[in-house]
Amino acid sequence: MNFLYSDDVIIACSTSLNGNAAIGVIRISGFKSLSDFKDFFTLKLSGPIEPRKVYFTNLVLQGQKIDEVCLTFFQAPHSYNGENVLELSVHGNTLNIERILALFLNTGLCRMAGPGEFTYRAVKNRKLSLSQVEGLDLLLNATSGFALDQGLSLLNGSLFELYKDLYHLFLLHKASLELMIDFSDDVGEEAARTSFDTTLSNFSTKFKTLLKRVRPISYDLLEPEIVLIGLPNSGKSSLFNYLLSEDRAIVSPLAGTTRDYISESLVIEGVKFKLIDTAGIRKSKDLIEEEGISRSKERIAKSFFKILLINPLELGPELKDLIHLNPDLILFTHQDLPGFDSSKANLVALYPELGSIGAVSLIEFSTSFESHIESQVISKFRELVSDKPLLLSRHKQLILKADGQLSSYLCHASQETDVAILSHELNSLGHCFSELLGIVSPEDVLNSIFSNFCIGK
Amino acid sequence: MNSFDILIVGGGHAGIEAAYLASQFNLKIGLITIPGIGLASAPCNPSVGGVGKGQVVREIDALGGAMGILADRAGIQFRTLNDSKGYAVQSSRVQIDKELYSQEAEKLISSISNITVIREKIFSIQKNDLFEVSGINKYFSKKIILTVGTFLNGKLHTGSKQVNGGRVDCDVSPGLSDLLDKVRVRPQRFKTGTPPRLNKSSIDYSKLEEQPSDSSVRNFHCLNKPFTRYASQVSCYLAHTNKTTMDIIRENKEKSPMFNGQITGVGARYCPSIEDKAFRYPDKNTHHVFIEPEGLNLDTVYPSGISSSLPEDIQLSYVQSISGLESAQIEQFGYAVEYDVVDTTELKQTLEHGQLGGLYFAGQVNGTSGYEEAAGQGLVAGINAALSVLGREAFILSRHESYIGVMIEDLVSNTRDEPYRLFTARSENRLHIREDNSLVRMWAYRTKLGLNTKIDKFLDTFISRFQVLCEFCDKTMVPEDSPLVEEFSGVGDLQKLSKRMSVSELLRQAWLDPVKTLEHVLIFYGLEIDHDLSRVVAITKKYEGYIKRSESQVEKLKKMDSMKINWKEISSSPNVSFECRQRIVRVMPETFGQLKLIEGIRPATLAVVAAKAL
């Protein structure tokens, strides 16, 4: 990422270029003087352009009017990223935005910004901390209110505060260990030991509350997946289309990489889910298809919510595998066909676990039925997020690593009499927190964070 | 004849160490000291060594210094601190007969023909081509080392009584401060205190816990036989304060110069007076009081842990409230001293002043507490002044290899809010900077001095044997069914080895004591190896893995530490606490590493800076 080290003037569109809108916002950042751009605007002012005031003006090139725009100048250091920033609100037709961008780029006054480059400069100019950047990333890419909240809490630093509190408790414990080594003559052996035990227990108790927020969740809470599984002809596609309402499903079904599933976005109570229709799972002699099926199984295992559809009249030996995937909801389809009731009864007798999951018979697709599924999905999601699980994998990994270090430390603390070694072990735990707080090697973290960013931010 | 290569002003622990080391370079050394006080006197606690400090004494000894020689000669009770807490943090401490210690120092210094001891009070130092020192006579010198302790504007307090002076019965020479007009002195004065001295025979020892001398503590001086004692051994005793003791102090808060505003100097948090303890820990009434003899022929004992500047009647009543001290008589009352200290950030790592070339500072005048800290600095200043006279390269001890290095880097890289006491937590490399391996750590440094004395020959032999024994441990394999394993039954729990392993690996096994294990191994192979040597090899092998790991962490930290920061911006940031901002403005750190070294900087501040200053 060589852009990280240049201080060119950069330009980008900060709003979406994926469709026409009323307004598009273009940002130019890092210029020395506003006068570089004065020829582009027809402003007639008695004085200079004042920072943080909105001006309405024509945007012109060689006397020819290009657009009518609103211009705002943010003067360094009082801007989002600490540099001089010019923000233009232009008409939001993508053609118009692209034409204006090209116009500025052709003058050679600026170059196109790289992904996240505006924000990178904000970090460089100490306008944002690393945690805040991670929060911003989350906020901008959130697919649920929950993720939005967490992004905001990182951006305003409240999660950081929690880490700091924990780090403080950690340091108190570390201090008590040092007390035991360097000052036990002054404070007395027993008092030193008591303080060691108390501070360790305070720290580990608090740490456990944080650990709850990173309990291992194998699925992606940023974009939770609802997956429909079942043998061919069990009615998955019908349910898929029904949940999405048919027309949407037909408009743009996204093919999976191996063409073994299709997926679409489904919004339930403001939370965006990914609804996936897997390819029918059946035994196959075709190697390529086998591969596809095994991938589907992997995918299913990682999904947030699994709906198994069963047509009791068309069973196959693979059904057993499907039931063992632990579906969250089981639906019996084709209830209108003759023989449904007896076949279903046979099946439940064969697989008693079907009853305990609370399988539901699907009579027909109806509004009440849809809301039954949706309420199950959303209540599972709500329950999961009630502990405010951490979304950022960097944080999760560090906290899990700290947990491992803590367990090993606790084990040492109960056996080891060599306090110097104990203190050495404790340092490894401290490193995890230093990383969480960003004290250690932030450059390692930077690349991964900025590679997620969209251009114009 | 009144002209010297190096003049040292102050005959305390820093001064004699500077003189002793500098004299080894065959230069002409003058040591100026106040008439009436013996060299290397011990105005405070009568002991040498301690946690972290024991390591310093052994470093001084391995570098050819005097402190270990004197401590052995005058040692009357030996003890290993942190005995049960692992080899890395074990430290030796010896109670000294303070009369004997000073006599031995006089004997040692006077035996050296190129040191002239001058007992005069001086009143001015000027610098022309040479330094010109005026007392009764005039003296000239190429280099000056100032080791004046608490005598810079010293003021003594006992209750409301105030006397000018650096210690009891010694007035201060006002001229000493004048000569330092050009030297920046810390605006905040420091304070230190000493407890009342008690009459030895007025104490009921039957009520106290006896701590006899430990015959298994190795002498400090490496050329001495390990366990031979040169003076008679006596015991120390442990007493405890109680609620009555602490109440007496709390009721008299307004009479304490430290709490009624009479003393404004700052004392060490790590060496609190009994008043500090009373007010800082209002819930705690039981504090240790070690009753330490001051000498075999002296009538006084030093009650460690109750230093005070309260009025005399109150000192007597709180002392007598302690069980065993009910009829104790005070021979000399406790007092506090306030004094000026040099701004050590102006000094180089050689302890030479940055602006005033040729002028060196060492010891308490640099804001440290403790004889060992003073001696360590004296040694560094003495060596460097000598090397500088000879036009040779400076001598700098790394903080990763010695506590002296830790101390000096800490001193010169930032100003302190309180007297500096060395302890093991100040080092990042505690598992390596140990007492047992001080010879190994200091050998290369001593060798660089290019002196060929008895100690140099001893070190060379020791190191080559060390290397051979290390190699033996790495290369000798112990098979899992070795009869050797049987030998360990007396060492740890008898366990079969899980696999064939080298002796080094065997020494790392958590269930074995490395020192005893290596002894067994050596006996098994019929090797007769000196105890000191097998001990250092055993412990070195035990910690080797840990040390390697921490070295890689040290590397990472070094990288982070070199990051440039903008202190002005940080000190105006609303995210940084007021207290931290004040400290930052004072020190003006340029790198993250320097910021980290500032005392009292909160981790939150570091986090804010690290996260933002990319």
Alpha helices in B111-232 (DSSP H): 174-178
> B291-341, pLDDT tens digit by residue?
999 999 999 999 998 888 889 999 999 999 999 999 999 999 988 888 888
CATH, residue A284: 3.40.50.300
Q: Reduced to 3 states, what is the DSSP secondary structure of residue B92?
A: strand
> A298-348, pLDDT tens digit by residue?
777 778 888 888 887 777 777 777 777 778 888 887 777 777 778 877 777
Q: Is the pLDDT of residue B603 over 70?
A: no
Judge whether B152 lies within some domain.
yes
CA distance B541 to B537: 6
The upper half-sphere exposure of residue A362, i.e. CA atoms within 13 Å in the direction of its Cβ, equals 26
Query: Shortest Cα distance from A3 to chain B (angstroms)?
Result: 15
pLDDT bracket for residue B470 (50, 70, 90): very high
Judge whether A133 lies within some domain.
no
**Cβ–Cβ of A182/B425 closer than 8 Å?**
yes
Closest residue of chain A to B573, computed from CA coordinates: A126
- DSSP code per residue over B17-28: HHHHHHHTTT--
Which long-range contacts (C-beta less than 8 Å, at least 24 apart) are formed by B550-559?
B550/A424, B550/A427, B550/B428, B550/B429, B550/B431, B550/B432, B553/A427, B553/A431, B554/B400, B554/B428, B554/B429, B556/A440, B556/A441, B557/A440, B557/B428, B558/B593, B559/A441
Do B429 and B408 belong together in one domain?
Answer: yes
Q: What are B258's two structure tokens? A: 């430290």
In this structure, the dihedral spanned by the alpha carbons of residues A389, A392, A396 and A398, taken in order and rounded to 10 degrees, is: -150
pTM attached to this predicted model: 0.74
Do A240 and A373 belong together in one domain?
Answer: yes
Q: Distances from the Cα of A200 to the Cαs of A204, A432, B218, in angstroms? A: 6, 17, 35
Judge whether B390 lies within some domain.
yes
Do A245 and A312 belong together in one domain?
Answer: yes
Judge whether A281 lies within some domain.
yes
Judge whether A85 lies within some domain.
yes
Q: Is the pLDDT of residue B610 over 60?
A: yes
Closest residue of chain A to B238, computed from CA coordinates: A185
**Cβ–Cβ of A424/B603 closer than 8 Å?**
no
Do A281 and A309 belong together in one domain?
Answer: yes
Which pLDDT score, from 0 to 100, does residue A225 have?
Answer: 86
Closest residue of chain B to A425, computed from CA coordinates: B546
Find the CB nearest A421 among B51, B286, B546. B546
Q: What are B324's two structure tokens? A: 């065993």
**Cβ–Cβ of A420/B85 closer than 8 Å?**
yes
Judge whether B125 lies within some domain.
yes
Do A42 and A124 belong together in one domain?
Answer: yes
Judge whether A51 lies within some domain.
yes
**Cβ–Cβ of B553/A431 closer than 8 Å?**
yes
Which pLDDT score, from 0 to 100, does residue A205 have?
Answer: 92
Judge whether B144 lies within some domain.
yes
Contacts of A417 in chain B (CB under 8 A): 84-86
Choosing from B337, B370, B403, the residue where a domain stops is B337
Q: Nearest 5 degrees, angle CA B121-CA B123-CA B128? A: 125
Find the CB nearest B431 among A185, A424, A431. A424
Choosing from B534, B552, B570, the residue where a domain stops is B552
Do A377 and A232 belong together in one domain?
Answer: yes
CA distance A83 to A75: 7
The distance of Cα A142 from the centroid of its chain, to the nearest Å, equals 6
Do A54 and A110 belong together in one domain?
Answer: yes
Do A446 and A329 belong together in one domain?
Answer: no
Judge whether B446 lies within some domain.
no
> A290-300, pLDDT tens digit by residue?
666 666 677 77
Do B383 and B355 belong together in one domain?
Answer: yes
Query: Shortest Cα distance from B189 to chain A (angstroms)?
Result: 25
Query: Shortest Cα distance from B107 to chain A (angstroms)?
Result: 33
pLDDT bracket for residue B3 (50, 70, 90): very high
Do A164 and A296 belong together in one domain?
Answer: no
Closest residue of chain A to B566, computed from CA coordinates: A126
**Cβ–Cβ of A182/B610 closer than 8 Å?**
no
Find the CB nearest B86 among A129, A130, A418. A418
Find the CB nearest B423 among A128, A168, A182. A182
Q: In what order do the strands lie in the sheet with A64-74?
A: A54-61, A64-74, A85-91, A23-29, A10-13, A111-112
Do A120 and A165 belong together in one domain?
Answer: no
CA distance B13 to B60: 12
Do B43 and B101 belong together in one domain?
Answer: yes
CATH, residue B199: 2.40.30.260
Higher pLDDT, B87 or A330: B87
Q: Considering only A250-254, B143-147, B368-372, which range has the smallest mean pLDDT? A: A250-254
Query: Shortest Cα distance from A175 to chain B (angstroms)?
Result: 9
Choosing from A385, A415, A434, the residue where a domain stops is A385
Judge whether A135 lies within some domain.
no
Minimal CA–CA distance to B374: which of B149, B194, B163, B188? B149
Which pLDDT score, from 0 to 100, does residue B217 have?
Answer: 96
The total domain count for chain B is: 4
ipTM of the complex: 0.78
Do B312 and B231 belong together in one domain?
Answer: yes
Judge whether A138 lies within some domain.
no
Task: Mutate one of A156, A159, A163, A182 to test the B interface: name it (highest B CB count within 10 A).
Answer: A182
For residue A84, what is the DSSP state? -
Find the CB nearest A418 among B85, B270, B553. B85
CATH, residue A101: 3.30.1360.120
With a CB cutoff of 8 Å and minimum separation 6, the contacts of B87 are A418, A420, B434, B436, B514, B515, B539, B542, B543
**Range with the largest mean pLDDT of B175-184, B340-349, B400-409:** B400-409
CATH, residue A150: 1.20.120.430
pLDDT bracket for residue B115 (50, 70, 90): very high
Domain encompassing residue B571 = 562-612
Judge whether A343 lies within some domain.
yes
Do A376 and A231 belong together in one domain?
Answer: yes
Which pLDDT score, from 0 to 100, does residue B170 have?
Answer: 56
Choosing from A71, A100, A128, the residue where a domain stops is A128
Do B330 and B406 belong together in one domain?
Answer: no
CATH, residue B605: 1.10.150.570
CATH, residue B123: 3.50.50.60
Do B589 and B531 belong together in one domain?
Answer: no
Do B479 and B346 belong together in one domain?
Answer: no
Helix (H) or strand (E) holding A227: strand A225-230
Query: Shortest Cα distance from A455 to chain B (angstroms)?
Result: 21
Output phi, psi for A229, to 5 deg: -125, 155
**Cβ–Cβ of A427/B550 closer than 8 Å?**
yes
For residue B267, what is the DSSP state? P
Do B367 and B513 belong together in one domain?
Answer: no
Find the CB nearest B85 among A168, A188, A419. A419
Do B288 and B305 belong together in one domain?
Answer: yes
**Cβ–Cβ of A437/B607 closer than 8 Å?**
yes
Q: Are strands A254-255 and B91-96 parallel, antiparallel or unpaired?
A: unpaired
Do B309 and B286 belong together in one domain?
Answer: yes
Longest alpha-carbon distance in chain A: 89
Contacts of B543 in chain A (CB under 8 A): 421
Do B16 and B134 belong together in one domain?
Answer: yes
Do A244 and A367 belong together in one domain?
Answer: yes
CA distance A318 to A323: 9
CB B537 within 8 A of CB B466: yes
Domain encompassing residue A260 = 225-385
Do A289 and A424 belong together in one domain?
Answer: no
Q: Is the pLDDT of residue B490 over 60?
A: no
Contacts of A186 in chain B (CB under 8 A): 288, 305
Which pLDDT score, from 0 to 100, does residue B149 have?
Answer: 87
CA distance A453 to A433: 25
Minimal CA–CA distance to A357: which of A334, A382, A324? A324
Judge whether B464 lies within some domain.
no
pLDDT bracket for residue B573 (50, 70, 90): confident
Those residues of chain B whose CB sits closer than 8 Å to some CB in chain A are 51-52, 81-82, 84-89, 270, 286, 288, 290, 305, 423-425, 430-431, 510, 543, 546, 549-550, 553, 556-557, 559-560, 569, 603-604, 606-608, 610-614
Tell me which residue has tokens 């993250």: B592
Judge whether B453 lies within some domain.
no
Instruction: Compute mean pLDDT per 10 residues along chain A, 457 residues long, and list them.
Output: 64 85 92 87 83 92 88 91 92 90 88 81 74 72 71 73 81 83 79 88 90 70 81 78 59 39 78 77 57 69 84 77 80 78 78 62 61 83 74 78 89 82 84 67 43 48
Do B204 and B301 belong together in one domain?
Answer: yes
CB B59 within 8 A of CB B404: yes
Find the CB nearest A171 among B88, B89, B603. B603
Judge whether A151 lies within some domain.
yes
The total domain count for chain A is: 3
Judge whether B306 lies within some domain.
yes
